[in-house]
Structure 1
């Protein structure tokens, strides 16, 4: 009789344990571009599960919807952008997204399928740039650093082609959506491409770029969330998981200099 009473009691205790674990597991939805952001999130997913956070990774191939859906509350956070882009987006869309933590820098680079050295760039060459304000300016600043152009304000992080003061090679600029830039390489003389899109297209920034930013780049990629959610426990756990020695080692081994830790 005593055994019959103990078995249901033990079963109830076990069920209660599983129920408690289910309650403790919190789902966190995060938008990311495929490479390297989604890959880094997949890497930390097991560690977050041990912390009681079930990571739901939503992959996007553009730079707009990840912010729109976080701002609208459809997703909890995103991981794909740097602060100049975030600031520009907030200004244009009247959103209130904030950086929760820095993860890595993707050195921005110039690529070409027609020339092997920037010295081969001819007068009147066609150069493709990202068409969003922050990355377009980032491209111009990099061209200026190479001595190809000179801007009216050399430090303007929102410069456009209209802000070019000197263009000795008479370069012609095409402003295109960032994601399309690898595909137009055959049609232009040179393209300035974000590293995530370069990696997706099979380009290695270290080996294939004509020139890239240094490790001192101010464009560190970050985790972003709505201002009123930045202190949420699950989001803080995500940032902590992305800033570990294990992630640092993974970045260094997996990407071999094409991205570098920013923590």
Structure 2
């Protein structure tokens, strides 16, 4: 299995890595259109997963060559796409994309959905919520996951909020007197270390794998089938000018093939939930989230 890979490890790499700027997908095209004769440059943070290997092989069978650009962080793939150094990326959910577009005044556009990955609570050597009262739970402190983590604890009956139906609550929105646990915001990458110390923690799937934690060992997870999960639908994203590109549409179709889905199920150990929503619905959700983000930023 031959896999083309370009590694970009940080913000500086967006500008300095020659492979990103040497590819011809934008160099000779007008108005940022994707050159149909060049490989599609797709950015991700997960290229090491089996699903991506199967995805690339299936794309090649359909006559689409991929140049997969792997990033070690979540901040640079959107910059690379916005700057024209990628054609499409696949690493983020709609809420993360909304925060980027609102903050950067960008027009990055969802063109297909992939899955919702439940966010879950883990507690080493425990298989239930029994005994968790009085504990401090580590939650990711980034703007796109902190509110979701607090809502996970709310769904589990562990915290009460001062207001109802808050999509993006902050620790200050928790009614501490009425709650069974407290929260300690930490960098998402440190949540697995907190877990290793024997403390309960909400951990993103990416860090579970790196720490060798079985995602099925969670003691509670949110429900991807509920409307509250819509902001966390993972999506293929491109620039608005390329949202109707036929090859990108084909990539979305390939992702939902039986072979890729089976590999993705193995990667997630059965925890990810496939989502196949049309692009116009994804855009409607994104528009709503961007508006909410801008309103929150203006308060």
Q: TM-score, normalised by structure 2?
A: 0.71
The residue number in structure 2 matching 1:8 is none
| 1:138 match: secondary structure | helix
Aligned residues of 2:224 and 2:273 also touching (Cα < 8 A): yes
Aligned residues of 2:47 and 2:68 also touching (Cα < 8 A): no
The residue number in structure 2 matching 1:234 is 247
**Is 1:261 aligned with 2:271?**
no
**Deviates most, 242-251 or 168-177:** 168-177
Q: Which has the larger share of helix? A: 1
The residue number in structure 2 matching 1:142 is 152
Q: Which has the larger share of strand? A: 1
Can you list the C-alpha shifts for 1:111-168, whole angstroms capped at 9, x where unaligned? 1226443221142x22211122221111011100011112234322222111223553
The residue number in structure 1 matching 2:191 is 181
Can you list the C-alpha shifts for 1:18-37, whole angstroms capped at 9, x where unaligned? xxxxx97531111212278x
CA shift, 1:198, in A, is 1.3
Aligned residues of 1:138 and 1:157 also touching (Cα < 8 A): yes
Matched positions, count: 238
Alignment RMSD (CA, Å): 2.4
Aligned residues of 1:128 and 1:191 also touching (Cα < 8 A): yes
CA shift, 1:92, in A, is 2.2
Can you list the C-alpha shifts for 1:211-250, whole angstroms capped at 9, x where unaligned? 1122414322111112222222332221121122332333
Larger radius of gyration: 1
**Residues 192 and 200 of structure 1, relative CA distance in 2, 3 Å threshold:** same
Aligned residues of 1:110 and 1:210 also touching (Cα < 8 A): yes
Structure 2: how far apart are the matches of 1:126 and 1:166?
11
| 2:144 match: secondary structure | helix
Aligned residues of 1:141 and 1:154 also touching (Cα < 8 A): no
CA shift, 1:169, in A, is 4.6
Unaligned stretches of 5+ in structure 2? 1-34, 277-299
Q: TM-score, normalised by structure 1?
A: 0.80
| Correspondence list, 1:1-263, <5 A | 25-34=37-46, 38-113=49-124, 115-123=126-134, 125-169=135-179, 171-187=181-197, 189-206=199-216, 208-216=217-225, 217-218=229-230, 219-263=232-276
Structure 2: how far apart are the matches of 1:259 and 1:141?
19
| 1:224 match: secondary structure | strand
